[in-house]
Amino acid sequence: MNYMLKDENAIYYECGYSCDNALYLRLGADAFFITDGRYTIDAKENVVGAAVVIDGDLYGKAAKILKKHQVKKIVFDPKEWSVAGFDKIRQKVKTTFKPVLDFSHKKRIVKSEEELKIVAKAAKLGAKAFKQLAKEFRKNGFGKDEYTLTHMAKGILGDFGKYELSFEPIVAINKNAAKPHATPTSTILEKNDLLLVDAGLKYKRYCSDRTRTVQADKYFMFDMHQSYKRKKIQKAYDVVLKAHDNAIAKACSGMKAKKVDALTRDIVEKAGYGKYYVHSTGHGVGLDIHEMPYISKKSDTIIEDGMVYTIEPGIYIPNAFGIRIEDMVAMVDGKAKVL
């Protein structure tokens, strides 16, 4: 098969290296990693299974290679390419370009044994960071606003530069937690506030993703069993936890992704919170923080061993509070194993 890639993680998956200015061509048995002179040393030291081509005009060079190899048809993912970049190649060759959405994500949906080990390590490091974060918040977080708490979270999650973050952490207090993708505000953390933290880090480029919602008393930990002073919050929390645990216990290989979604959604809806569950149950995690499979009520994807995805039901009451509990799972021997 002939295909061309522009996305960094898609390229990394193919040859073990990528950078912010590169193209990758796979033409049958031949492969080419095209980049500019800034990355010559790194590319030649790290690219595996592809010829390293150095050229300041990546698109022009790609077109020349396609002409030289007389390529009649090549696959590309339209999501990876800008119109301008794609046209720089297309207009110079007679090749037929076949669009395939999520081309690389489809290739990566089932993880290898080595990938499963790496992503499990990322998840374990993320869990360890959450323990350190709880300790730091208990000691120095009260009286600080969400901006400061987010900054603190970044340092601890990344081990102060050792690891990249999977995404910008979410640190949300009380009613701000009712926004699934909350951004920091000037709200200050006080004793017994509801505190939601959604964060992850990367290990060998693979992401982790975890969410915990707690009552921030002087002894709190980011574990799943929480006791809230407000009965309304406790009731909603218990429903989310039940949904989370049910999906992990009952998800199995051979099941459609929308059935896994129903394992959380049915519980939330039966408890009367359906309209407050505003997102899907989960998403795949790997080199990208969001990739296939998507665990949604519309997805017909068949769950298979080797897939890695999140289980993250939530209830979000506008102007009051939000609750989400999230873990990553891998499908192993037909069952969901928490990472």
How far apart CA 55 and CA 14 sit, in angstroms, is 20
From start to end of the chain, where are the E strands?
2-5, 22-27, 30-35, 51-54, 73-76, 96-99, 170-173, 193-199, 202-203, 206-207, 210-216, 282-284, 291-295, 308-311, 314-317, 321-324, 327-332, 335-338
**What is the predicted pLDDT for the residue at 246?**
98
113-338: CATH topology is: Creatine Amidinohydrolase (3.90.230)
Give Dmax (Cα) for the chain: 71
3-state per-residue secondary structure call for 186-206: CCECCCCEEEEEEECEEECCE
**What is the predicted pLDDT for the residue at 61?**
97
**What is the predicted pLDDT for the residue at 242?**
98
Structure tokens at 147: 């901006």
b/e map of 267-285 (b: 16 or more CB within 10 Å)?
Answer: bbbebebeebbeebbbbbb
39, amino acid identity:
Y
**What is the predicted pLDDT for the residue at 53?**
98
Structure tokens at 220: 């709190």
Q: What is the chain's pLDDT, residue by residue, as a tens digit (339 residues)? A: 999 999 999 999 999 999 999 999 999 999 999 999 999 999 999 999 999 999 999 999 999 999 999 999 999 999 999 999 999 999 999 999 999 999 999 999 999 999 999 999 999 999 999 999 999 999 999 999 999 999 999 999 999 999 999 999 999 999 999 999 999 999 999 999 999 999 999 999 999 999 999 999 999 999 999 999 999 999 999 999 999 999 999 999 999 999 999 999 999 999 999 999 999 999 999 999 999 999 999 999 999 999 999 999 999 999 999 999 999 999 999 999 999
How far apart CA 13 and CA 297 sit, in angstroms, is 29
3-state per-residue secondary structure call for 54-123: ECCCHHHHHHHHHHHCCCCEEEECHHHCCHHHHHHHHCCCCCEEEECCCHHHHHHCCCCHHHHHHHHHHH
**What is the predicted pLDDT for the residue at 29?**
96
| Residue spans in the chain of domains classed CATH 3.90.230.10 | 113-338
Q: Distances in Å between the alpha carbon of 265 and those of 127, 302, 315? A: 25, 18, 10
Asked whether the whole model's pTM tops 0.85, one would answer yes
Helix (H) or strand (E) holding 267: helix 257-270
**What is the predicted pLDDT for the residue at 226?**
94
Contact 267, 246 (CB under 8 A): yes
**What is the predicted pLDDT for the residue at 153?**
97
Contact 103, 3 (CB under 8 A): yes
> Using CB atoms within 10 A of its CB, is residue 48 exposed (0-12), middle (13-18) or buried (19+)?
exposed
How far apart CA 329 and CA 251 sit, in angstroms, is 10
How far apart CA 103 and CA 275 sit, in angstroms, is 34
How far apart CA 286 and CA 84 sit, in angstroms, is 29
CATH code, 2-108:
3.40.350.10
| Residue spans in the chain of domains classed CATH 3.40.350.10 | 2-108
261, amino acid identity:
D
**What is the predicted pLDDT for the residue at 113?**
97
The total of other beta-carbon atoms located within 10 Å of residue 258's CB is: 18
- Tokens 């050229």 locate to 55
**What is the predicted pLDDT for the residue at 30?**
97
Structure tokens at 117: 């080990």
Q: Determine the 3-state secondary structure of 247 from DSSP.
A: helix
